[in-house]
């Protein structure tokens, strides 16, 4: 296990295991925002005995501890997808459920459009504190 992974997991209060490192390393390298099942298929090359339940449980822990984002499906019954890129950026969801990153320059422009005044008003009107902004654009299905 790499020293960097050990330090990261330790900072998050997580035990360092080979399975967690393989899952995290694979998710970090993945740009396709995989589902748990897709990630499981990828990590089995390195860890053939790794169960799908372990991948689900690990992704839940990673999401809870802030090591990745869980992107719930906007398509009824679709699987959640996961993203280890925690930088502020915008996602685009296609009709088949795939999630793509909006190019950085366009993400910045979209996120900059959410002024501090607008966020403050949203907090006042809802009585809730906004901790982080996640913007997901959904492509309409042309057949609908």
**77 lies in the same domain as 95:** no
Residue 142: pLDDT over 70: no
Query: Residue 144: what pLDDT?
Result: 47
Query: Residue 75: what pLDDT?
Result: 77
**9 lies in the same domain as 77:** yes
**2 lies in the same domain as 44:** yes
Given the structure tokens 């330790």, which residue do they identify? 10
* Mean of pLDDT values over 119-127: 95
Residue 96: pLDDT band (50, 70, 90) is: confident
Domain end position, chosen among 45, 60, 85:
85
Q: Where are the alpha helices (DSSP H) in the chain?
A: 3-11, 18-29, 36-43, 52-64, 104-112, 116-126
DSSP, collapsed to helix, strand or coil, labels residue 107 as helix
């Amino acid at each position: 296990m790499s020293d960097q992974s050990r330090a990261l997991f330790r900072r998050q209060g997580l035990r360092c295991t080979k399975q967690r490192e393989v899952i995290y390393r694979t998710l970090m390298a993945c740009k396709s925002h995989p589902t748990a099942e897709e990630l499981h298929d990828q990590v089995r090359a390195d860890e053939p005995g790794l169960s799908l339940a372990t991948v689900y449980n690990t992704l839940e822990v990673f999401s809870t501890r802030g090591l990745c984002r869980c992107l719930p499906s906007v398509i009824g019954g679709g699987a959640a997808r996961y993203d280890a890129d925690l930088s502020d950026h915008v996602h685009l969801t296609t009709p088949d459920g795939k999630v793509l990153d909006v190019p950085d320059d366009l993400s910045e422009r979209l996120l900059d459009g959410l002024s501090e005044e607008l966020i403050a008003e949203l907090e006042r009107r809802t009585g809730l504190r906004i901790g982080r902004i996640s913007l997901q654009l959904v492509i309409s299905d042309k057949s609908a």
